[in-house]
């Protein structure tokens, strides 16, 4: 359903109101492909982050919700370690 596709609707509006033509969309598609290519190259080379540090630096003081989410993530990730040990 087109109604649920805001980018299609926006593109249709841009075209219908003469705010953008095919060359504009071609340029955007080209830029998007370049960015995607760069991300595919860079992301695999990224070092893993210390997730503990991420949670610990959200607020300057301890926060109950952050601590709850941190504990949930630890349990969730531990479940994967259990699966790998069972292989």
**In tens digits, what is the pLDDT along the chain, a chain of 87 residues?**
556 799 999 999 999 999 999 999 999 999 999 999 999 999 999 998 888 888 999 899 999 999 999 999 999 989 887 666 655
Tell me, yes or no, whether 72 lies in a domain. Answer: yes
Q: Name the domain count of the chain.
A: 1
Tell me, yes or no, whether 27 lies in a domain. Answer: no
Q: How far apart, in Å, are the Cα atoms of 54 and each of 62, 70, 73, 80? A: 13, 9, 12, 20
pLDDT at 31: 98
The Cα–Cα gap between 62 and 69 comes to 12
Tell me, yes or no, whether 29 lies in a domain. Answer: no
The Cα–Cα gap between 38 and 60 comes to 34
The residue range of the domain holding 80 is 51-85
Tell me, yes or no, whether 20 lies in a domain. Answer: no
pLDDT at 75: 93
Tell me, yes or no, whether 32 lies in a domain. Answer: no
Token pair listed for 70: 């941190």
Report pTM.
Answer: 0.55
Tell me, yes or no, whether 66 lies in a domain. Answer: yes
pLDDT at 87: 57
Tell me, yes or no, whether 31 lies in a domain. Answer: no
Q: Phi/psi class of residue 61: alpha, beta or left (left: φ > 0; alpha: ψ in -120 to 50)?
A: beta
pLDDT at 80: 87
């Amino acid at each position: 359903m087109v109604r649920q596709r805001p980018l299609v609707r926006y593109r249709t509006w841009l075209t219908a109101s003469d705010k953008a033509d095919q060359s504009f969309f071609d340029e955007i598609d080209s830029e998007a492909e370049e960015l995607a290519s760069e991300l595919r190259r860079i992301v695999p080379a990224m070092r893993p982050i210390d997730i503990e540090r991420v949670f610990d630096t959200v607020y300057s003081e301890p926060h109950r919700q952050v601590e709850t989410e941190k504990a949930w993530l630890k349990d969730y990730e531990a479940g994967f370690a259990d699966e790998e040990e069972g292989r």
